[in-house]
Amino acid sequence: MSHIENINTKELAGTLELMIRRVGREDLLKVLKKNAEVFKRTPKTPLYKDMEEIGRRKAQNNVKSYSHDEVWGD
């Protein structure tokens, strides 16, 4: 005898997304522990300058954060 359940695809997608994000964070932490130089920033790079600017704006409470839906929503 087979048993069929209805699957709420939105609920499933949300659960899978959270799991994937957690696994991604855990893997990233493992990489950083093994090789801390992977994300080394040097003052001459555009990324370094952008991060400094974001830090200054954050200190002035002038940073706008966007929700997941605002960034990735359809």
pLDDT in tens, 30-68: 888 888 776 677 888 888 899 899 999 989 998 888 888
Q: Does the pLDDT of residue 28 top 60, yes or no?
A: yes
Closest to 58 in 3D by CA, of 69, 70, 50: 50
Residues 6+ apart with CB under 8 A from 71: none
Q: According to the model, what pLDDT value does residue 71 have?
A: 85
Amino acid in the structure at residue 68: H
- Band (pLDDT 50/70/90 cuts) for residue 1 is low
